[in-house]
Structure 1
Amino acid sequence: MIGYPSPLWFGDSTTYLQGALSFEPSRLRPSGYSVFLWLLKPFESFTVTLSVQHAIGVLTGVLVYLLVWRGLRAGWPRWWSWVPGVIATALTVPVLYDAYQIELEHMLMSDGLFTFLLLAAVTVVLWRRRMSWWMGALAGVLMAFATLVRSTGLPLLLVVLLCMLIRRVGWRAIAAAMVGAAIPILIYMSWFDSVHGRFALTNTDKVWLYGRTVDFADCSIIKPRPEVAPFCRDGLPRNPEVAPALGALWGGNSGFSTLPDGLYDPQANKLAGEFAMAAITKQPGDYLKVIWRDTVRCFEWERANYPSRGIVDLYEFPVGASLSNWQALHAYPYGGSTADARVVEPQAAWVRDYQDRYFVRGPYLGAFMAVGLLGVLLRIRRLGGEVLLPLGTGLALLVIPAATADFDYRYILPALPFAVMAAGLTLARTPKPTIAPPEPVSLVKATTPKPKPNPNQEQPLKILSRRPSPSRR
Structure 2
Amino acid sequence: MTESPKWRKLQKMLPPVPDRAGLLASARRHRVFLALLGLALLLRIITLLGYRWAIWFPDSYPYVDVALHPRPDPVRTFGYPLLLMVLRPLHSVGAVVVVQHLMGLAAAGVLYALLRRPHLFRGKRALPGWAAALAVTPVLFDGNQIELEHLLLSDTYFLLLVTAAAALVLWSPKPSARQVVAAGLLLSLAIITRTIGTPLLIILLVFLVIRGVGWRLVAGGLAAAVVPIAAYCGWYASENGSFALSGTDGVFLYSRTMTFADCDKFGDRLPVDAYALCDSTPPEQRPVSHFYVWEESQIFRYPGGIFAPYKSDLARTFAKEAIVAQPGDYLKAFLTDFGRTFRWDRPIYPDPKTYSYYVFPEETQEYWPGKADMAAQYDDQSTATRVVEPYAGFMRGYQKAVHLPGTVLGVLLLIGLGGILARWRSWGGVALLPFGYAMALLVIPPATVLFDYRYVLPAVPFAAVAAAIALRDLDAWRRSRGAPDAEGASGPAEPEGRKEPRVAVVS
TM-score (norm 2): 0.80
Moved more, 68-77 or 1-10: 68-77
1:222 is matched by which residue type in structure 2?
A: F
The answer for the alignment partner of 1:358 in structure 2 is 402
Change in CA separation of 1:326 and 1:76 when aligned onto 2, cut-off 3 Å: farther
Moved more, 112-121 or 353-362: 112-121
Is 1:284 the counterpart of 2:327 in the alignment? yes
Contact kept in structure 1, 2:207 and 2:432, CA below 8 Å: yes
1:160-171 equivalences in 2 (<5 Å): 160-171=204-215
CA apart distance, 1:136: 1.4
1:96-245 equivalences in 2 (<5 Å): 96-223=140-267, 224-235=270-281, 242-243=287-288, 245=289
Is 1:418 the counterpart of 2:465 in the alignment? no
CA apart distance, 1:127: 1.2
1:350-389 equivalences in 2 (<5 Å): 350-389=394-433
Secondary structure at the counterpart of residue 379 of structure 2: helix
1:9 is matched by which residue type in structure 2?
A: W
Q: Report percent identity of matched pairs.
A: 39
Q: 1:390 aligns with which of 415, 434, 443?
A: 434
Moved more, 198-207 or 98-107: 198-207
CA apart distance, 1:327: 3.4
Q: 1:273 aligns with which of 293, 316, 332?
A: 316
The answer for the alignment partner of 2:293 in structure 1 is 249
Contact kept in structure 2, 1:259 and 1:265, CA below 8 Å: no
Contact kept in structure 2, 1:398 and 1:412, CA below 8 Å: yes
The answer for the alignment partner of 1:336 in structure 2 is 380
Q: Aligned-residue CA RMSD in angstroms? A: 2.2
Q: 1:48 aligns with which of 62, 75, 95?
A: 95
Secondary structure at the counterpart of residue 290 of structure 2: helix
The answer for the alignment partner of 1:457 in structure 2 is none
Is 1:18 the counterpart of 2:65 in the alignment? yes
CA apart distance, 1:329: 3.1
Contact kept in structure 2, 1:378 and 1:384, CA below 8 Å: yes
| Whole-angstrom distance in 2 between the partners of 1:73 and 1:27 | 41
2:104 is matched by which residue type in structure 1?
A: G
Contact kept in structure 2, 1:4 and 1:343, CA below 8 Å: yes
Is 1:29 the counterpart of 2:76 in the alignment? yes
Contact kept in structure 1, 2:62 and 2:76, CA below 8 Å: no
| Whole-angstrom distance in 2 between the partners of 1:126 and 1:73 | 8
| Whole-angstrom distance in 2 between the partners of 1:122 and 1:274 | 35
Secondary structure at the counterpart of residue 188 of structure 2: helix
1:316-335 equivalences in 2 (<5 Å): 316-323=359-366, 324-335=368-379
Change in CA separation of 1:266 and 1:247 when aligned onto 2, cut-off 3 Å: same
1:86-105 equivalences in 2 (<5 Å): 86-105=130-149
CA apart distance, 1:198: 2.3
1:419 is matched by which residue type in structure 2?
A: A
Contact kept in structure 1, 2:255 and 2:290, CA below 8 Å: yes
CA apart distance, 1:330: 2.6
Change in CA separation of 1:394 and 1:400 when aligned onto 2, cut-off 3 Å: same
Secondary structure at the counterpart of residue 108 of structure 1: coil
| Whole-angstrom distance in 2 between the partners of 1:77 and 1:39 | 41
Contact kept in structure 2, 1:332 and 1:339, CA below 8 Å: no
1:309 is matched by which residue type in structure 2?
A: P
CA apart distance, 1:98: 0.4
| Whole-angstrom distance in 2 between the partners of 1:293 and 1:73 | 35
2:443 is matched by which residue type in structure 1?
A: V
Contact kept in structure 2, 1:72 and 1:84, CA below 8 Å: no
CA apart distance, 1:339: 5.5
Is 1:260 the counterpart of 2:303 in the alignment? yes
Change in CA separation of 1:294 and 1:77 when aligned onto 2, cut-off 3 Å: closer
Change in CA separation of 1:237 and 1:168 when aligned onto 2, cut-off 3 Å: closer
The answer for the alignment partner of 1:405 in structure 2 is 449
Which structure's relative contact order is higher, taking Cα pairs within 8 Å and 6+ residues apart? 1
| Whole-angstrom distance in 2 between the partners of 1:375 and 1:129 | 18
| Whole-angstrom distance in 1 between the partners of 2:433 and 2:172 | 13
Secondary structure at the counterpart of residue 278 of structure 1: helix
| Whole-angstrom distance in 2 between the partners of 1:402 and 1:367 | 20
The answer for the alignment partner of 2:8 in structure 1 is none
Contact kept in structure 1, 2:51 and 2:387, CA below 8 Å: yes
1:416 is matched by which residue type in structure 2?
A: V
| Whole-angstrom distance in 2 between the partners of 1:22 and 1:238 | 42
CA apart distance, 1:338: 7.3
CA apart distance, 1:197: 2.7
Secondary structure at the counterpart of residue 116 of structure 2: helix
Is 1:308 the counterpart of 2:354 in the alignment? no
| Whole-angstrom distance in 2 between the partners of 1:147 and 1:267 | 24
| Whole-angstrom distance in 2 between the partners of 1:194 and 1:404 | 27
CA apart distance, 1:73: 8.5
Contact kept in structure 1, 2:260 and 2:283, CA below 8 Å: no
Secondary structure at the counterpart of residue 377 of structure 2: helix
1:422 is matched by which residue type in structure 2?
A: A
Contact kept in structure 1, 2:148 and 2:156, CA below 8 Å: yes
1:258 is matched by which residue type in structure 2?
A: R
Contact kept in structure 1, 2:119 and 2:172, CA below 8 Å: no
Contact kept in structure 2, 1:390 and 1:422, CA below 8 Å: yes
| Whole-angstrom distance in 2 between the partners of 1:407 and 1:398 | 9
Q: Between Structure 1 and Structure 2, whose CA radius of gyration is higher?
A: 1
Cα deviation 1:414-433 (Å, max 9, x = unaligned): 1001001101111344799x
Secondary structure at the counterpart of residue 291 of structure 2: helix
CA apart distance, 1:30: 1.5
CA apart distance, 1:24: 1.0
Cα deviation 1:331-356 (Å, max 9, x = unaligned): 21111237653111111110101011
Contact kept in structure 1, 2:417 and 2:435, CA below 8 Å: yes
Gaps of 5+ in 2: 1-47, 481-485, 487-500, 502-507
1:259 is matched by which residue type in structure 2?
A: Y
Change in CA separation of 1:167 and 1:410 when aligned onto 2, cut-off 3 Å: same
Cα deviation 1:143-179 (Å, max 9, x = unaligned): 1111101110112211111111111122222111100
CA apart distance, 1:291: 1.8
Secondary structure at the counterpart of residue 190 of structure 2: helix
TM-score (norm 1): 0.86
